[in-house]
Amino acid sequence: MSRERRRSSRRRQRAPSPSPRRISPGRSTGRESCFRHACSGVDVSDIPNHTTDRWLSFRLGGQLYAAPLDQVSEVIRDGELTPVPGAAADLLGIRHLRGRIVPVLDGRRRLGLPETHGGDAHEVRLVMLSHGPHLVGLRVDAIGDLVHAQGAEIAPPPPGGAARHDDPVHGVLPWQGGFVALLDVRRLCRLPLESEAA
């Protein structure tokens, strides 16, 4: 057999190379996965088996808050926003995100916390929250852990704010020797009830 024929035979025997594919970052779970998404801007819905028993925590004004993981579409780095004249004091502006115009709220102002940020500015993130067709960004001081609510008792919110029907804190969860305030995304973003929207 000639040299050229041997080369041709070897090429036919080789298995075809697999096409490149994206490896889901959701293969790791917990804090590692949470931080990976927060720093890279990857869609948080890639994390497998997320339910309302899992919450993404973040820090605001030295306190710990959390939003349901299934309502967190993604976490991205802070960036330039377009101001909206005459907007509410807690509306920082709007951001263009893949063809959508997304309003961005200041988390500290929205929750009545001190506006002075004493943490690392490089840790500031925008948490994109979804509720039905709505998408709203929330600027937070830093991303925390992935909180599991299963097996833990969720207490009612503190007196005072709980009396208001629009209070965004709907429960308090004991967590790592402290507590985390669980947020209602619809109330936090001042979105209408589905019946009102219809």
Residue 197 lies in a domain: no
State the pLDDT at residue 192: 86
Residue 2 lies in a domain: no
Q: What is the mean pLDDT of residues 127-140?
A: 97
State the pLDDT at residue 31: 39
- Total count of residues recorded for the chain: 198
Residue 7: pLDDT band (50, 70, 90) is low
State the pLDDT at residue 23: 25
State the pLDDT at residue 10: 53
Per residue in 69-111, pLDDT tens? Answer: 999 999 999 999 999 999 999 999 999 999 999 999 999 999 9
Residue 8 lies in a domain: no
Residue 25 pLDDT greater than 70, yes or no:
no
Residue 51 lies in a domain: yes
Q: What is the domain count for the chain?
A: 1
CATH number at residue 163: 2.40.50.180
Residue 118 lies in a domain: yes
Q: What is the mean pLDDT of residues 139-165?
A: 78
Angle at 190 between CA 184 and CA 192, to 5 degrees: 95
Q: Which residue range is the domain that position 181 belongs to?
A: 25-185
Q: What is the mean pLDDT of residues 149-154?
A: 71
Residue 11 lies in a domain: no
CB 133 within 8 A of CB 192: no
Residue 193 lies in a domain: no
State the pLDDT at residue 176: 87
State the pLDDT at residue 191: 92
Residue 1 lies in a domain: no
Angle at 168 between CA 75 and CA 128, to 5 degrees: 15
Residue 1: partners with Cβ closer than 8 Å, 6 or more residues away: 9
* Token output for 13: 């025997």
Residue 18 pLDDT greater than 70, yes or no:
no
What average pLDDT does the structure give for the chain?
Answer: 77
Residue 24 pLDDT greater than 50, yes or no:
no
State the pLDDT at residue 119: 78
Q: Is the four-CA dihedral 32, 117, 62, 97 of positive or negative sign? A: negative
